[in-house]
Amino acid sequence: MSNINASHSGSFKIGGDIAINRLGFGAMRVTGPGVWGEPKDRDSALATLKRLPELGVNFIDTADSYGPETSENLLREALHPYKGLLIATKGGLVRGGPEIWTPVGRPEYLRQAVLLSLRRLKIQRIDLWQLHRVDPKLPREEQFGVIKDMQKEGLIRHVGLSEVSVKDIEAAQKFFTVATVQNRYNLIDRTSEDVLNHCTKHTIGFIPWFPLAAGDLARPGSVLDSVARKIGATPSQVALAWVLKRSPVMLPIPGTGKVQHLEENVAAASITLSDEDFSALDEAGRKASSKAA
């Protein structure tokens, strides 16, 4: 698999000035079960991270809450000083245990989150920092305001948002330029379709988390299965290729803690779906999404 490379996915400029390959990597799965603590196989996690630049993956998404702290620490150990890499991190969620996530958007906490991420990653500025969740207990303007201040101070270069609506994006734009939006989106989950369309229109990077989900569409005999068999790929690779083709601002970040799985995901960057196959998958995905709703 020496010829696979994320550059085959095309490029995008974060904030208009940081060029990355569109197929990135999500560093959530290099932690322990429930995104809690150290990974079961630390050597495998580190090997996976070290393999990223070799495969042309130069956009890596993490968060202070992954572990917590574990993902950022492993990234520093494996990849610092991140030559040619964009390490994007997030803050705004605290952890009470495995799979427990609580939004905290107090200005002083968000500032602390940025400062500690800088320390863990061993950098002077975070080139893309994302608000992991807008805390519903506080006015969003308070949260956007402190982010604006930290950007002015040079702690943050570009700002992104996660799990937001179009109205949230428009409200945030009054404080800073929204460079990216990270919402759940895949072949069968289209709840953020309006957000994706907004991002496409305004050239805002859209980072779909959980991009490989295919549900029943991956069953034998389905459209997804048929397309995969026809082109000699796995259903997950086809689902990822579909996401990439959906919009030029799409920046999928499939994650894993295993080198082999990473290589399989990056190989999807070389898959070019025909318009006919894309449309067939799109229609099947929309039907599945409407049934789930």
Could you give the residue numbers annotated as active site? Answer: 66
Q: How many CA atoms lie within 13 A of 212 on its CB side?
A: 17
At 154, is the secondary structure helix, strand, or coil?
Answer: coil
At 36, is the secondary structure helix, strand, or coil?
Answer: strand
CB 144 within 8 A of CB 171: yes
At 2, is the secondary structure helix, strand, or coil?
Answer: coil
**């906490």: which residue's tokens?**
109
Please report the DSSP string for 74-132 in residue order: HHHHHHTT-TT-EEEEEESEEEEETTEEEE---HHHHHHHHHHHHHHHT-S-EEEEEES
d(CA 221, CA 51): 34
Dihedral angle, C-alpha 199, 179, 61, 125, nearest 10 ° = 180
d(CA 239, CA 244): 9
Contacts of 201 (CB under 8 A, 6+ apart): none
At 14, is the secondary structure helix, strand, or coil?
Answer: strand
